[in-house]
Chain A
Amino acid sequence: MIRHLLSAGDLDRDEAIAILDTAGELARATGRSVKKLPTLRGRTVVNLFYEDSTRTRISFEAAAKRLSADVITFSAKGSSVSKGESLKDTALTLEAMGADAVVVRHSASGAAHRLAMSGWTDCVVVNAGDGTHEHPTQALLDAYTLRHHLSDGAGDLQGRRVVIVGDILHSRVARSNVLLLETLGAEVTVVGPPTLLPVGVEGWPCSVSYDLDNALTGADAVMMLRVQNERMNAAYFPSAREYSRRYGLDRHRAELLAPDGIVLHPGPMNRGMEITAEVADGPRSVVVEQVTNGVHVRMAVLYRLMGALPELESEAGS
C-alpha cells in the first residue's frame, strides 16, 4: 500500500487494479442516489488548489463528502493561497489544522512530491495535477472508463490499443496515462506534431507516431488532449486550422477505430480544435462518463490512502 499518490508510476498492477475495483464497489454502493458512506467521518480532507480547476476540485470535494469527510477547500480565488503565500507556509497551516489528507493542484511540476517529501507536513498527499508533470487520478478515471468498455469492468487492459493525441509535451494527463496504461498491459501510442512531443519520448513505455490516421486504425480507444491556443503563438504549430487538419478528431477519423472503439477527452474540450462537436457528442464519446467515474475513482483513492480498507466489505453490502 502506498502512502501518497504522487505519480501514476507509484502504482503497480495489483495496486492499480485494487483502486479500480474499489471504485467499482463504491459506485455500486452509492449508486445514483449520491448516498453518503460513513467511512471517513471525523477525518479532514483539504483541497489545496493553487490553480483554478473547477471540475477537478468539485470532483474531489464530492468524493470526500460522499465518504463523510470534513472538507476544506483553499483555492487560488480565495484569500488563503493567493499570491505571496508559499506552498510551505500553507502546508504548515494545514498541519496546524489537523488535516489528514491534502489534495493538491499546483502549477509547478513536482509540487505534490515536494509537499509529501519535504517534512513540512505528515498528511497523506494526493496529486491533483502538478504543472506539466502528472495527474494520476485522471489516469485512474480514464483507466476505469476504458476497463468498463473494453474489459467488462474487471482485471486489466492487456493488449488493448489506446492512442493519446495532442500536446504530449505539456500534458500531465498524457504522462500519467502512459505510465498507468502500460502498467495495466495496454499498448499505448502517443501522437502529435514533433514540436509537442518531449525530447526523449522514445524512451517512454509507448509507441510514438506523427501519423494520426495510421495510429487510429483498429485502435480500441483514443484520448484527445486539449490544445491551448497559446502554443500556436509560441510556434509549436502554424495555425489552428492546420492543427485540426493533421491532429484533430473528426467523424471520418473516428471511424478508423475498432468497431466498438471509444473516444475520451479529459476536458475541457476545444470543440473545433482537437475534436469536432459531432465526435465529442457522438456515440463513441464517453466524456460524460469520465466525469461520473472521476468521483468514484477519487473516492477509492481517498478511501484506500486514508486507511479505510477493512470496512469496505460490510459497507458495500449495507
Chain B
Amino acid sequence: MSMVIREVAPYGEEAVDMTIDDGRIARIDPAGSAPAGEREIDASGLIVLPGLVDLHTHLREPGREDAETIESGTAAAALGGFTAVHAMANTQPVADTAGVVEQVWRRGQEAGYCDVHPVGAVTVGLAGERLAELGAMADSAARVRVFSDDGICVSDAVLMRRALEYVKAFDGVIAQHAQEPRLTEGAQMNEGELSGVLGLRGWPPVAEEAIIARDVLLAEHVGSRVHICHLSTRGSVDIIRWAKQRGIDVTAEVTPHHLILTEELATTYDPRYKVNPPLRTADDVAAVREGLADGTIDIVATDHAPHAHEDKDCEWGAGAFGMLGLQTALSVVIETMVETGRLSWREVADRMSTAPAIIGRVESQGRPLEVGEPANLVLVDPRARWHVNADALASRSRNTPFEGREMSGRVVATFLRGRPTVLEGRLA
C-alpha cells in the first residue's frame, strides 16, 4: 500500500511530499506535487526525521515484567519516535548467552512496535569475573554487536582489555558503564557541597572519569573501539574530547535527564530523581550540552529504566536507581538543544538516529531520508506542547522525573519499515 506524507519538512528544511511504498521511501516530490497515494497524511508543519535509535534501553523482560515488558517498552519507544532500541543485558536471567539474546530478539519481533537489538553481557552473570560467550551471541539470530555489563562497571582492567580485544573479531563494541566501584560504595547522589548538606553518600565525578580515562587508553593500546554509556560530568567530556583528538576510536552517549536535570532535585529526597550516574551540577549540564553540540558526545541514549512503584515510593536510600526516558527523550533534546540553537534538526537526526545506528552496527536504521531507503521515520510537531502524565505513558512503570512538566515538541507519527506504529500521537 502506498502512502503519501504531504508537505512534510525533512530535517526541518524545505517541505516535500514523501511517498512510502513497500516499506521504503518510494519517491520524494516537491510539496503538493506527488501523485495521490492509497493513503494520504497531511503533514504540513511537521518535520520528518529518520526513526530514532536508542542504544541504551532497559526493557526488564525477562525477569521483571511487573516493571516493563518488551511489548510495553517498545510501545513507549514507538510513541517516543524510536524505530529501534537496544535492550540492556541486566535482565533475569542475564542476557549472557545466545539463548537469552535470541529470546529477547524474538519477543521483540513479535511485539513489533520497534526493532529490539539485544545487548549482550560482557561477563557471565554480570559478575565481572569471566567473559560471557560473546562470539556465540554475535553469531546468534540476534546478531549482537553491543556488549555491556551496564548497571555494573567492568572494573577489572585485564577483563576490560580482553573484552575490547575479543569483540574486534566480529566488529563488536564494549559499552562501558563507567563507575569505579570502590569510590562509589553506597553512593546516593553526586558528591559535592549538596551531598554533604543532605547527608547522602557521594558519587564523585572522579569515579566516572577515572574509568573513562583508563578505558580510552586501553582502547588505544589494543586498537579497539569503546563506547561510554551515560557520561555525566564536565571532566568526562574533556577526556573524551582529548581522546578523540588523539585519534582514539571512542564514542559516548548522554542521557536526556543529564541534559536537563540537576542534583538540586535530591533536596526533595524523592527517589524519582535517583539515578545512576546521579544528576550532576548545572555546570556539568552545560558541559554535556556543549559536548553534544560539538560532537564530542556522539549520541543521546535514554537509559530508560522502569521501576515498579514500590521501588520508588519510599525513602531515598531504599529507592531504586533509574528513570523512564523513551517518551520524553526527543522533547528534552528539542528543549535543551534545538530551541537553544545548539543543534540543527539534521544534527538531531545524527545524534539520535544515524550515529547510534552506526555504533550499534544496525544497517537498516539511521539511514538518510532518500529514495530507496527503508521507511523508518518519525514525524514531529516542533511547536506542540504537552504535559507529562505518568499514568498516560505506555510504560508499565511511572517513574518519570518529568511528571506535570510542559514538554517541547511532540511525536505525531512513527513508521517502522513503512508501517505506522504511531499515528496522531497514539499507537496505530
Q: Which residues of A are in contact with B by a Cβ distance under 8 Å?
A: 86-88, 106-111, 113-114, 117-118, 130-134, 169, 172, 175, 198-204
- State the CA gap A172–B198 with chains docked (Å): 10
> Known contacts A86-B314, A87-B315, A108-B316: does B199 contact A130 (CB below 8 Å)?
yes
Tell me if A198 and B316 are in contact (CB < 8 A).
no
A contact residues around B99 at 8 Å (CB): none
- State the CA gap A199–B207 with chains docked (Å): 14
Considering the complex of A and B, which 7 residue pairs feature the smallest CB-CB distances, nearest first? Answer: A200-B193, A133-B199, A198-B196, A110-B269, A108-B317, A109-B199, A132-B199
Min CB–CB distance A197 → chain B (angstroms): 9
Tell me if B315 and A106 are in contact (CB < 8 A).
yes
- State the CA gap A169–B269 with chains docked (Å): 19
- State the CA gap A86–B318 with chains docked (Å): 9
Of residues A88, A200, A201, which shows the largest number of chain B Cβ atoms within 10 Å of its Cβ?
A200
Q: List 7 A-B contacts (CB under 8 A).
A: A86-B310, A87-B315, A88-B314, A109-B198, A109-B269, A114-B270, A118-B270
- B204 on interface, CB distance cutoff 8 Å: yes
What number of B residues sit within 8 Å (CB to CB) of A? 24
A contact residues around B194 at 8 Å (CB): 200
- State the CA gap A269–B181 with chains docked (Å): 33
Residues 212-232 of chain B: 1 if any A CB is under 8 Å from the residue's CB, otherwise 0?
000000000000000000000
Tell me if A109 and B196 are in contact (CB < 8 A).
no
> Known contacts A86-B310, A113-B269: does B318 contact A133 (CB below 8 Å)?
no
Q: Name the CB-closest residue of A to B266.
A: A110
- State the CA gap A118–B268 with chains docked (Å): 10
> Known contacts A110-B316, A111-B315, A199-B192: does B197 contact A117 (CB below 8 Å)?
no
- State the CA gap A39–B196 with chains docked (Å): 38
Partner of A108, one of B193, B204, B310, B315: B315
Min CB–CB distance B204 → chain A (angstroms): 7
Tell me if B196 and A114 are in contact (CB < 8 A).
no
B contact residues around A87 at 8 Å (CB): 314-315, 318
- State the CA gap A202–B192 with chains docked (Å): 11
- B72 on interface, CB distance cutoff 8 Å: no
- State the CA gap A134–B196 with chains docked (Å): 11
Min CB–CB distance B51 → chain A (angstroms): 39
B contact residues around A203 at 8 Å (CB): 193
Partner of A200, one of B196, B315, B316: B196
Tell me if B202 and A199 are in contact (CB < 8 A).
yes
> Known contacts A110-B269, A114-B269, A199-B202: does B317 contact A131 (CB below 8 Å)?
yes
- B195 on interface, CB distance cutoff 8 Å: yes
Tell me if B195 and A200 are in contact (CB < 8 A).
yes
- State the CA gap A79–B368 with chains docked (Å): 64
Min CB–CB distance B311 → chain A (angstroms): 11
